Structure 1
Amino acid sequence: MPQQKAVIIGAGIAGIATAIRLAVKGYAVEVYEANSYPGGKLAEFEQNNYRFDAGPSLFTMPHYVDELFKLAGKNPADHFGYQKLDVVCRYFYEDGTRLDAYADSQKFAQELALKTGEPVAATLKHLANSRDIYSITNHVFLERSLHRLKTFLRWDTIRSIFRFPQIDPFRTMHKANAAGFKDARVVQFFDRYATYNGSDPYQAPATLNVIPHLEHHFGAYFPDGGMYSITQSLVKLAEELGVQFRYNYKVEEIVVINGIAKGIRAKGENILADVVVSNMDVWFTYKRLLSKHPQLHPKKILSQERSSSALIFYWGIKKQFTGLDLHNIFFSADYKAEFDHIWKQQDIYHNPTVYLNISSKYKTDDAPQGCENWFVMINVPANNGQDWDKLIAAARKNILAKLSRLLGEDIGKLIESETILDPRSIESKTSSYKGSIYGTSSNNQFAAFLRHANRSSKVKGLYFCGGSVHPGGGIPLCLLSAKITADMIK
């Protein structure tokens, strides 16, 4: 039989991983990317001798990357290296508390006990609960499609359904954390994990308390070449398998004839394929690429609440700070008020929680000698027409004041290079609707079931992968979406 052809729209991490999996299956694969570079949000750029990873900065569950090399018959260690972090993140509170979130559970529990007085047993119990949620949900919600009957006919799925109350879906994340801990700083620490998928701990289900298990069991890592080396190594693997990448190639349409995806249209040319996979945000997939077929649009899904977005300042800092680590968090004094501003008032709180990533702590050539590359991010609402220029100016002033106060240094005077990424530019660069980083939010207890499926129920040969579809956003889930999608394709 002639070799079948697959076309993938978008060279985000899920698109690349899907390309690898289909190439291993024997498909001729072509990836069409509107930008001049691969990676989507997982990109990089340089400015004034500083290098920055532009998007995701936390790397967990590296075995999902390793798996792709193993599928291709290669030893992962020969192609992609990384090191495990002893301290996942360093935390700074407004009251002066500073704590290190050790990857080791026992060590971390002792750190919380020392700094906050929270009993070791309470922390270990919470992490054990996180492990239990993972064991119940992983093979059902994360590794398989929720939109196929055979998923629910498996014995391990049936067993998980009987354990459904144990995943705590009917309380909010904050209520569960407040019930488990007495110290407000510890509650705030565990509430923060809701931001890992762009959600609000005061609305999102306590099921999201699964996330700490990923850090304190599987660990957090730093890729040897920085985060962008994930993209680079997987693109190289894909190319070795025969995958063709077409950059600066904006797809204009998914060609559908008689309910069958026949290929795509790009640069005025029809490109035929047996399988079409969209790694583009599903909102834009339908509104732009399937605009001629409004009857195919899933109106409820396209109208779902979007996840939060981000405002990022990339600063070249002409000094090194020994008290800072690779990952750093400077907490807000009033977490509830901060999330109310994001989700209810649709603006930015005056004292936001600030995330600071400094890859030059591990990859020294990311900054000139004696300097550091600061990736400074706050969570902000999706773009709904706010006056972003005004909001950005105020946020920059407030962030600088906060960091200067907590670090005892006038940070503004140390900035010698700056680039800004906001919800508008996130949308324009990555086709993420409204600049939302994770597609739809997880503020609903049934959010896992409400995400778009990895296969079209109306168009034969049309599939979806990436953060806007099942199982969700973030590097591990995007890689899992590629696995689910590729497994569906015969």
Structure 2
Amino acid sequence: MKNTVSIIGSGFSSLAASCYLAKAGYEVTIFEKNATIGGRARQLIKDGFTFDIGPTWYWMPDVFERFFSDFNKKPSDYYILEKLNPAYSVYFGKNDYITIEDTLEKIYNAFEEEEKGSSQKLKKFINIAKSNYDIAIKDLVYNPGVSPLELVTPATIKKLNQFFSTIKKDVRKEFKNERLVKILEFPVLFLGAKPSDTPSFYSFMNYADFGLGTFHPKKGMYQVILGIESLAKELGVNIKTNAPIENIIVDNGSAKGITSKGKNYYSDIVVSGADYHHTETLLEKPLRQYSENYWNKKTFAPSSLLFYVGFDKKLKNVNHHTLFFDVDFDVHAEAIYDNPKWPENPLFYASFPSITDSNSAPEGKEAGIFLIPLAPGIEDTPELRETYFNKIIKRFEVLTSQNVQNHVIFKESFCLNDFINDYNSYKGNAYGMANTLLQTAFLRPKLKSKKVNNLYFTGQLTVPGPGVPPSLISGKLVSDLVIKHQS
């Protein structure tokens, strides 16, 4: 008889794990609390507009290719990818922006135009970033975080100093132009920590940005979820939606299944891709590995205030991805990490998928997604959301020289309370646990429970960390561990 697996949640890591385990011969059932699959990567469809609720950036295409190739498939079997040009633009003031295009050569030229001599410095920086990328993505991140020795390879020993310096130090040592500094520090925000707390080695994110580029799956990131769902179903995975979990069944120190809506579903193995902290609350206290104090002391990646806006006209002076860095980043970062509160003047990001993709909005209209990074665990009220929408939309109008407030058909918001309600997210965080030096690899919460046999975890609070590509990798890592321990 086949071994059975219950998987909690249907985000990227859970779906990936389900595919690997089904391929290895396990009978897999996914339990998703919401009405649709995808976890944080769900979709909002309203009045002919389509929005990705969660991730909007498609970076590191090689990780997606590696995932699908493990099943003798390719991404193009499931969705159509388009490389964006420009990748994004960054506003620093009124009609004052730098555009990052789709090749290194164009980006070198943009830097040189901004500051003479900076293109040579950038080439040197990107060469190191590429070397780090090759080590990290082809090797390190596919380790299960079981031992410190995973980080000790001939390649990493040569780069030891990069684990004890920071992105901020490295960038500012070479570049004096504040605008270029901000562009180079931006990608590590995907790792969920300040550049001053992120080890230099993570410059591989700059290679992911400049060297590999930014892509858009036609019809949005949700197509990737649907693609992996199709693969999972081809492999025999069973998916139950509207199936919240009340309890993990433990007998004699081993996980024996889950309880959903009062009904017990027994299985040989339980894998949770739900929030790690929340998953442990489904166990009796003595069976939890990590205390409330442990979680409270960790550095979490930000939460977000998001707006999904339908405009009745096409917008100008913006690209598919547009960043607004016209205020002090350090002051906003302090309000996220050091002294958690609502930022006075927030940086924000906007995405207009309908610039690239006609499926996102009715003809002649624009779909806009606005995101403000916030500290997890702070107050969230409708009044605060409205105040901050007005703040950023007024700045948006000034910076891009256009009137948009009178052209809003509708807006929907999503913030801390929604992350908690929809995803059981710890303190309403959006991206998981930050990748700081003391929260890297074997120093993150473990993929396998130390207290309950046959209970495993996957996703952004465990190895390798936050982001969509790491989530796919996390699904592979946990399935490898399951297969190893059951064989």
Normalized against structure 1, the TM-score is what?
0.93
Question: Equivalent of 2:443, from 438, 450, 464?
Answer: 450
After TM superposition, the structure 1 stretch with the greater mean CA deviation from structure 2, 345-354 or 40-49, is 345-354
Q: Does 1:338 align with 2:337?
A: no
Q: 2:220 maps to what in 1?
A: 226
After TM superposition, the structure 1 stretch with the greater mean CA deviation from structure 2, 443-452 or 8-17, is 443-452
Cα shift at 1:469: 0.9
1:13–1:40 contact (8 Å) kept in structure 2? yes
Q: 2:109 maps to what in 1?
A: 110
Q: What are the superposed Cα offsets for residues 56-90 of structure 1, whole Å, 9 maximum, x if unpaired?
A: 00001233333444333445423222122232211
Q: What are the superposed Cα offsets for residues 99-125 of structure 1, whole Å, 9 maximum, x if unpaired?
A: 211232221011111134452101111
Equivalences for residues 80-119 of structure 1 within 5 A: 80-94=79-93, 96-117=95-116, 119=118
Provide the C-alpha distance between the structure 1 equivalents of 2:139 and 2:442, rounded to a whole number of angstroms: 11
Provide the C-alpha distance between the structure 1 equivalents of 2:46 and 2:184, rounded to a whole number of angstroms: 35
Structure 2: gaps spanning 5 or more residues: none
Q: What are the superposed Cα offsets for residues 431-468 of structure 1, whole Å, 9 maximum, x if unpaired?
A: 22112122222344553432112112222211111111
Letter in 2 for 1:272: Y
1:278–1:464 contact (8 Å) kept in structure 2? yes
For the residue of structure 1 that corresponds to 2:196, the secondary structure is coil
Letter in 2 for 1:406: L
Q: 1:420 maps to what in 2?
A: 413
2:316–2:400 contact (8 Å) kept in structure 1? no
2:314–2:366 contact (8 Å) kept in structure 1? yes
Provide the C-alpha distance between the structure 2 equivalents of 1:425 and 1:401, rounded to a whole number of angstroms: 25
Q: Does 1:269 align with 2:268?
A: no
Letter in 1 for 2:270: V
For the residue of structure 1 that corresponds to 2:376, the secondary structure is coil
For the residue of structure 2 that corresponds to 1:59, the secondary structure is coil
Cα shift at 1:150: 7.7
For the residue of structure 1 that corresponds to 2:39, the secondary structure is coil
Q: What are the superposed Cα offsets for residues 168-226 of structure 1, whole Å, 9 maximum, x if unpaired?
A: 22233222211120101111111222321222223333333221111223322111221
Q: 1:130 maps to what in 2?
A: 129
Letter in 1 for 2:307: F
Equivalences for residues 2-151 of structure 1 within 5 A: 2-94=1-93, 96-117=95-116, 119-148=118-147, 151=150
Cα shift at 1:322: 4.0
Q: 1:163 maps to what in 2?
A: 158
Q: Does 1:215 align with 2:209?
A: yes
> Structure 1's 293 and 244: CA in aligned 2 closer, same or farther, altered over 3 A?
same
Equivalences for residues 203-352 of structure 1 within 5 A: 203-287=197-281, 289-290=282-283, 292-299=284-291, 301-303=294-296, 304-352=298-346
For the residue of structure 2 that corresponds to 1:333, the secondary structure is coil
Cα shift at 1:151: 4.0
Q: CA RMSD in A?
A: 2.0
Q: 1:436 maps to what in 2?
A: 429
1:282–1:468 contact (8 Å) kept in structure 2? yes
Provide the C-alpha distance between the structure 1 equivalents of 2:117 and 2:373, rounded to a whole number of angstroms: 28
2:272–2:456 contact (8 Å) kept in structure 1? yes
Provide the C-alpha distance between the structure 2 equivalents of 1:347 and 1:151, rounded to a whole number of angstroms: 37
Cα shift at 1:475: 0.7
2:145–2:443 contact (8 Å) kept in structure 1? no
After TM superposition, the structure 1 stretch with the greater mean CA deviation from structure 2, 241-250 or 301-310, is 301-310
Provide the C-alpha distance between the structure 2 equivalents of 1:446 and 1:295, rounded to a whole number of angstroms: 23
Q: What are the superposed Cα offsets for residues 389-434 of structure 1, whole Å, 9 maximum, x if unpaired?
A: 4432331121011101011122211111100011111121122211
Q: What are the superposed Cα offsets for residues 112-144 of structure 1, whole Å, 9 maximum, x if unpaired?
A: 111344521011111112122223333554111
Provide the C-alpha distance between the structure 2 equivalents of 1:160 and 1:424, rounded to a whole number of angstroms: 43
Q: 1:199 maps to what in 2?
A: 193
> Structure 1's 213 and 372: CA in aligned 2 closer, same or farther, altered over 3 A?
same
Provide the C-alpha distance between the structure 2 equivalents of 1:134 and 1:86, rounded to a whole number of angstroms: 22
After TM superposition, the structure 1 stretch with the greater mean CA deviation from structure 2, 387-396 or 51-60, is 387-396
2:287–2:451 contact (8 Å) kept in structure 1? no
Q: 2:352 maps to what in 1?
A: 358
Cα shift at 1:284: 0.2
Cα shift at 1:260: 1.3
Provide the C-alpha distance between the structure 1 equivalents of 2:475 and 2:219, rounded to a whole number of angstroms: 23
For the residue of structure 1 that corresponds to 2:153, the secondary structure is helix
> Structure 1's 317 and 466: CA in aligned 2 closer, same or farther, altered over 3 A?
same
Cα shift at 1:294: 2.8
For the residue of structure 1 that corresponds to 2:448, the secondary structure is coil
Equivalences for residues 358-377 of structure 1 within 5 A: 358-377=352-371
Cα shift at 1:474: 0.9
1:327–1:355 contact (8 Å) kept in structure 2? yes
Letter in 2 for 1:221: F
Provide the C-alpha distance between the structure 2 equivalents of 1:151 and 1:442, rounded to a whole number of angstroms: 16
Letter in 1 for 2:445: H
1:140–1:151 contact (8 Å) kept in structure 2? no
Question: Equivalent of 1:403, from 389, 396, 402?
Answer: 396
After TM superposition, the structure 1 stretch with the greater mean CA deviation from structure 2, 345-354 or 39-48, is 345-354
Provide the C-alpha distance between the structure 2 equivalents of 1:484 and 1:231, rounded to a whole number of angstroms: 19
After TM superposition, the structure 1 stretch with the greater mean CA deviation from structure 2, 210-219 or 10-19, is 210-219
Cα shift at 1:489: 1.8
For the residue of structure 2 that corresponds to 1:87, the secondary structure is coil
Cα shift at 1:268: 1.8
Normalized against structure 2, the TM-score is what?
0.93
After TM superposition, the structure 1 stretch with the greater mean CA deviation from structure 2, 37-46 or 98-107, is 98-107
Letter in 2 for 1:252: E
Provide the C-alpha distance between the structure 2 equivalents of 1:423 and 1:197, rounded to a whole number of angstroms: 19
Provide the C-alpha distance between the structure 1 equivalents of 2:134 and 2:62, rounded to a whole number of angstroms: 17
1:60–1:214 contact (8 Å) kept in structure 2? yes
